[in-house]
Structure 1
Amino acid sequence: MKQFTVPTRNEVSPANQEIFDNLNKALGFVPNLYATIGLSSNGLGRYLAYQNAKTSLSNKEKEAVNLIVSQINGCIYCQSAHTVIGKMNGFTDEQVLDIRRGTATDAKLNALVQLAASITKNKGRADAATVDAFFAAGYTNEHLVDTVLQVSEKIAMNYLHNLTQIPVDFPVAPSLELTASVN
């Protein structure tokens, strides 16, 4: 398989160079997966606009979706990045691991994690009981749409890393034994 390397600032388009500069100012570095998206002249700007678009989901809910989807898709890069970001948004180490296993102690968040897992595993065909539990937990049609969009955003990143295998530049997430519900 082709070997991918992370492009440097000088190897990307002028538009992406500007985005690299902005990421450096905001984060102190350009994450390797973002840099890899920079191989596309328009991809990085397009992706960041999608990722940063307004949503009905809270940052904590978005991170729960990101964690379970990345776990199911076996993306160590995104598991690692979202372990860090999840903790920045209030999750404990154990809560991050629980979400990656497919559960959350908070009933409403658990319904979201279960739905995101079902959507991912079943290619968008979540089982009816899981969808019903999502709505019973207090989520709305708007939340459903935003959950599907969040799953799709994370799948794109999972697939890009799984194909390129570029180096993980976050503390590597611990491996875990998956429960039957996530497999």
Structure 2
Amino acid sequence: MERCFVEACLIVGFVPNLYAYYAKNETALGDYLALQNRKTTLKTKEKEVINLVVSQFNGCNYCLSAHTQIGKMNGFTEDQILEVRTGKASFDSKLDALAKFVLSTVENRGRASEAVKEQFFVAGYTEANLIDVVIVIGDKTISNLIHNLADFEIDFPLAEELQTAVI
């Protein structure tokens, strides 16, 4: 757990308040970091798409702010991040299918529309990817709920508000 914690803090350059809050529980931070650092079939950009869509859907300003910065560190522009938060990614057809799948999954509590699921698979995703997408949705939902309940200070630059309420 200690190695994962140090690596995570090195990425952002400080100990995020989310991690400090998890540390109030004897095992939560280690469990959370193990989940975040598990081996996955998804690329970093794909995980950021999931993190942004889920955080927008759940209204978690902490995670939106953190993942806006992490998304930029992984090559997304501000405009792309704002679009991804609406459940679309017109700049990349595969990420677009992923964003739509994630939004449909969270909106419908795991019952994504058949059309969106088909687009997900046509885009090149597999059942192994589907499982990993759901695990990342769960991971991000945990953090969203923790922040929304605890409402600790956001220690990242605040994410821009969406101009239209798409989600």
Give the TM-score band, short-chain normalised.
Answer: over 0.9
Does residue 52 in structure 1 map to residue 40 in structure 2?
A: no
TM-score using structure 1 length: 0.84
Match of 2:15? Answer: 30
Partner AA of 2:103 in structure 1: A
Is residue 2:67 matched to residue 1:62?
Answer: no
Partner of 1:81: 66
Pair 1:20–1:120, CA change in 2 (3 A): same
- For residues 69 and 30 of structure 1, the distance between their equivalents in structure 2, rounded to whole angstroms, comes to 23
Aligned with 1:95: secondary structure?
A: helix
Task: Note the aligned Cα RMSD (angstroms).
Answer: 1.9
CA pair 65-51 structure 1, distance change in 2 beyond 3 A: same
The 1-side partners of 2:121 and 2:6 are apart by: 42
Q: Greater CA radius of gyration, 1 or 2? A: 1
The answer on whether the counterparts of 1:20 and 1:35 sit within 8 Å (CA) in structure 2 is: no
When residues 38 and 19 of structure 1 are mapped into structure 2, their CA distance, relative to the original with a 3 A threshold, is farther
What is the aligned counterpart of 1:141 among 116, 127, 131? 127
Query: Secondary structure at the residue paired with 2:39?
Result: coil
Partners of 1:102 and 1:179 within 8 A in 2: no
Secondary structure of 1:119's aligned partner: helix
Match of 1:102 among 84, 87, 97: 87
Question: How high is the sequence identity, in percent, across the aligned residues?
Answer: 48
Name the CA distance, whole Å, in 2 between partners of 1:87 and 1:97.
Answer: 11
Equivalents in 2 of 1:30, 1:167: separation in Å?
13
- For structure 2, list consecutive stretches of 5 or more residues without a partner in the other structure: none
Partners in 2 of 1:21 and 1:102 — Cα distance? 32
3-state DSSP of counterpart to 2:138: helix
Alpha-carbon separation, structure 1, partners of 2:96 and 2:10 = 35
- State the alpha-carbon separation in 1 of the partners of residues 70 and 36 from structure 2: 14
| Other-structure match for 2:151 | 165
1:159/1:95 Cα in 2 relative to 1: closer, same or farther (>3 Å)?
same
Q: Does 1:40 align with 2:25?
A: yes
1:126-176 C-alpha deviation (Å, 9 max, x unpaired): 111111110011101111000000111000000000001000000000111
Return 22-31 or 148-157, whichever deviates more: 22-31
Partner amino acid for 1:115? Answer: F
| TM-score where L is the length of structure 2 | 0.92
Secondary structure of 2:40's aligned partner: coil
Give 1:11's aligned residue: none
Decide whether aligned partners of structure 1 residues 57 and 97 sit closer, same or farther in structure 2, where only a CA change above 3 A counts: same
> Which residue, 140, 146, 153 being the options, matches 1:154?
140
